[in-house]
Structure 1
Amino acid sequence: MTPTTAHLALPFFDDVHRELGARLAGWIPGQQIDESDDRQACREWVKRLGDQGWLRYCVPSGSDGALGGALDRLDSRALVILRETLAFHSPLADFAFAMQGLGSGAITLAGTPEQQAAYLPQVASGAKIAAFALSEADAGSDAGAMTTRADPAAGGWTLNGSKTWISNGGIADFYVTFAKTDPAAGTRGITTFIIDAGTPGLDASEHIAVMSPHPLATLKFTDCRLDGDTQLGALNGGFRLAMQTLDIFRASVAGAALGMARRALVEAVRHAKSRKMFGQTLADFQLTQAKIGEMAALVDAAALLTYRAAWLRDEGERRGQSVRVTAEAAMAKMTATENAQRVIDMALQMHGGLGVKVGTRVESLYRDIRALRIYEGATEVQQLIIGKAVLQS
């Protein structure tokens, strides 16, 4: 195994995961995409990931493989390995992969056979780009405060409101969208819908520019007419469905952070060994050795929590048990993203002036990692989740 796949020898993984990790680690370094246009680059990454079969891990196989997935069910360890490896080489490739999974995850969990057949094979092949529309301007961590409404209409629903910070906004082919169907019921009054791009009343043209370019947009719904068969899952069961979806993919966010941290450590070691100063290399200084040691420990600590969370969920699925790993996934997400921020910052500092030069790897990593401490539940939210779980135990 190479240094970038050595962790696959840990007992958290099975042979199928080790083979997957080795294959992806052999493929991804050869992929060169111009990422100066993040929207076009994201489309290209989805196409390549789909053409090579990597997106098949975002969906289950279904009976007789009809849904297009590589495995019988969503496998958390496979998702972690894929995201960690992709993020090591290209955080935008990781983004493209992750959104295919997150954007279709609720359909995997609660879709009717017809909904699953219409969307999941297209996600697996890369023919359709997926999006997950939960956040609003005043309803991020507090999903119950959302104001987007779906009101009953003849044969379906009429949607009004807006969503923001929506990944793949403007390039997605469909949006799994959450709206209030019982405004007085808080989180118990939210229902999920599948809304195709191009549906009259949906405007996804307001793009959002962020410090590390990714396709983001605000969605606006104005008398957006939906047929009854667009409802996904139970009426007023949308919040539970959103949390179940995030439970699956939260550990994979930790995997992405882990990939970025590993890359920063590799870059720091490479620079330390080659940078000459005062008649020796930077690596010869004890202060450098101490920093490298701290970085390595932070990476490994995050890795163990990440792999544990993914293993626990997969083991529960294998035994046919509905195991909630909310606290464990929160620990993984919080620790991996926070540790990655520290590791990348130390790597940048070690590079000196080169560290802040636009276009260097540590400079781009510094921008890429910051959003991971916020999306899919900010660090402070993860702390609350963990604290409540400990107090209830």
Structure 2
Amino acid sequence: MEMVTSITGSQLSVSGCVRVMEYLTIHSFSVLFPQRPCLRREGWRRPPPATTTKDDHLRKPSKRYSPKRYNLKPVDRAALADYDARVADVEASLSRAFRMLQVQIEAVDRKIDGQVGTARVELAALLEEKRLELEGHLKRLDARTDELDDALAGLKRMEFLRKDEFEKFWNEVKETLGSGSGTEVDLDQIRALAREIAMREIEKHAADGIGRVDYAVASAGGKVVRHSEAYDSGKRGGFLSTILGGDSANPQQKMLQPSFGEPGQCFPLQGSSGFVEIKLRKGIIPDAITLEHVSKDVAYDMSTAPKDCRVSGWYQGTPNEAHSGHAASAKMPVLTEFTYDLDKKNIQTFDVTAPDVGIINMVRLDFTSNHGSSALTCIYRIRVHGHEPVSPGITISQS
């Protein structure tokens, strides 16, 4: 009992309270029942069965079960009082222990709640920090993506060798070095061959810029037969004379002549849409169309360049009528559609995409938009590439 009363609330923990409860329980039973006196039955025997009658309840209580009959000893009231006092002390000790245990549990709960709250605050701060860090990484990744897009756009503008061009170069290397004794290729030989190929390409391109035969060039017989309204035609006669170098007889022929990259050496058409019809020097099977504008490095205004274009081609009359001079009704199947891109070279060639194109001698360029100018669209040069048929007149382009 002294041990219980000497324990204070600050010294009692949860495990200590459990041990105190075990001690008090064991001690209480040892105090209450050390050698408890009891009512001893001395010489007791089971009484014989009683014979009852209907008038037994009217009789007085029988003394057959009285203490004297069974020699029962009287109860020690002083000992019972002492037991009651001890039980009261134990109950008081248990009550104090329970209260102390409850206080300790409440303190532990408050401590746990405080630690959980602190952990929640720290976790929220950590998550916010990680979120900001992740947003920073995403922004840097977006910046890197933009840089990569710009780099890819730059690579596209640089216009490296296409796959077919590289394969052509490599085939020439193998053909040139195929007569060698070994299979190894000398780097000096590759350099010499590359230099030779480059010189051939330079010479070819120096002829007309792209090194392809132009069947629409004015000097070889190509002619502009019809076009949409010219810019300020008949209103400012000096303007056309100025940009066309004084050649006012056939100013539209500028679209079929070399411009030599000079700004203003073009034929301006009214508005942002229009057309040009060209008669070729002879009937051909077309395979590509080239549209030329002034280079953006020297241009004053690139908004007058055509943008979305469609090219149609047909043969004006049958082969016999062409030889005899008789004209026939013409049909205009679409050869190709393209967009002139200002980020690429100023001379851009577009392949004919229509299948089974026959012989044509007429070409029509329709442009439905330009790169921003609402007043006029400048056409510097139109070229038509292809090859002459082996037997002219066998196949005629029809829609």
**TM-score using structure 1 length:** 0.21
Bigger radius of gyration: 2
Q: Which has the higher helix share?
A: 1
**TM-score using structure 2 length:** 0.21
